Structure 1
Amino acid sequence: MTLIDRLKDEQKAAMKAKDKPRLGAIRLVMAAIKQREVDEGITLSDDDVIAVLTKMVKQRRDSVTQYEAAGRQDLADVELAEIAVLDEFLPQPLSDDEVAALLDEAIAATGAAGMQDMGKVMGVLKPQIQGRADMGTVSQLVKAKLG
C-alpha cells in the first residue's frame, strides 16, 4: 500500500470516527500533496510524499516555537496535535548511532577529504535519511566530521 493510499484510508477512518482534529491534519497533507502534483504535473512517489510530510512537520515545529515565545500555548497545542498526526506517516526516526554510521559510510563512499566535498556527502546521505532525521542536524555533523 502506498503512502497516499494509507493517507486516504486514514482520512476515511477519521471521517467515520468524527475526529475533526485528525481529519483536518490529514486534509492539510492531502492538499499539500495535490498542490505539488498539480504544480509539477507528476504523481508523487512515497519518497516525495515523505518530503512533503517532513516539510510540513518542520513548518509546524517552527510555528510552535514562535507561538510559545509569544505566550500563545493554545495555538502551539493545535500545531503539536498536527505534528503527532503527521509523525504517524513518517518512517521511524534514526538513532544517533545509525546516523553516525550512515555518515561514515557516505564519507567513505565519496572519498570526502574536506569541506569542499560536503555537497557530495549530503547528496549521498539525503535519500537515505530523508524524513528519518533532521537534515539541519545531519548537516552540522557532516561539517564537524569534514572540518
Structure 2
Amino acid sequence: MSEIKKAITDAVKAAMRAKEKERLGVLRMVTAEFKRIEVDERIELDDARVLAVLDKMVKQRRDAATQYTDAGREDLANIEQFEIGVIKDFLPQPLSEDEIQALINDAIANTGANGMGDMGKVMGFIKPKAQGRADMGAVSKLIKASLQG
C-alpha cells in the first residue's frame, strides 16, 4: 500500500475517534476516489498516482471555490477551501519558485529542448518530480518563458 494512502487511512481512524465530522467527510471522499480508481482500473495505487489524484482533487476544489466566490456564495467557497486544506495535509511540501526554475533548467538540459516544439518533452520530464508539489499550470508558463527566452 502507498505510504500516503496509509496515512490517509490512519487519519480517517483518528478523525472518527476525535469526532471531527467535517474532516472525516473529506477524508472519506478521498478514500472513495482511491477505491473507485482501483476498482475501475484493477490496480493498486502507488504514491505517484495517489499524488496525482490528490493534486487533481485540490485543483477541482480551487476551481469550484473561485466559481462560488464569483457567484457570491462565500459559504460554499469556504467549504471548498476547508477541503483543500485537509487534502493538502497529505501533499508534500510545495516547491519554491527557485526550485521549480532549477527543475526546468535541468529538464531543458537533459532533454536537449531548444524551442516550443520540445515543450512536451520538458513537461514529461518535470511532471513526476513536481506532481503535488507545484501548480502544473504555473510550471507550464515558466517552461514556455524559458523555451522562448
Alignment TM-score, normalising by the size of structure 1? 0.98
RMSD: 0.8
1:140 aligned residue: 141
> The residue matched to 1:25 in structure 2 has which SS?
helix
1:84 aligned residue: 85
C-alpha distance in structure 1 between counterparts of 2:98 and 2:147, whole Å: 18
1:17 aligned residue: 18
Shift of 1:3: 1.1
2:130 aligned residue: 129
Q: How many corresponding residue pairs?
A: 147
The Cα offsets for residues 39-83 of structure 1, whole Å up to 9 and x where unpaired, read as: 111000011111110000000000000000010000011111111
2:9 aligned residue: 8
Shift of 1:4: 1.2
Shift of 1:5: 1.0
Could you list the runs of 5+ residues in structure 2 that have no partner in the other structure? none
Equivalent runs, 1:1-147 vs 2, <5 Å: 2-147=3-148
Alignment TM-score, normalising by the size of structure 2? 0.97
- Overall identity of the aligned pairs, in %: 60
Task: List, as ranges, runs of 4+ consecutive aligned residues in structure 1 with deviation greater than 3 Å.
Answer: none
The Cα offsets for residues 70-100 of structure 1, whole Å up to 9 and x where unpaired, read as: 1000001111111110000000000000000
What is the identity, as a one-letter code, of the residue corresponding to 2:71?
A: A
The Cα offsets for residues 6-25 of structure 1, whole Å up to 9 and x where unpaired, read as: 11110000001110110001
C-alpha distance in structure 1 between counterparts of 2:104 and 2:117, whole Å: 16
Could you list the runs of 5+ residues in structure 1 that have no partner in the other structure? none
C-alpha distance in structure 1 between counterparts of 2:119 and 2:70, whole Å: 34
Shift of 1:108: 0.4
What is the identity, as a one-letter code, of the residue corresponding to 1:120?
A: K
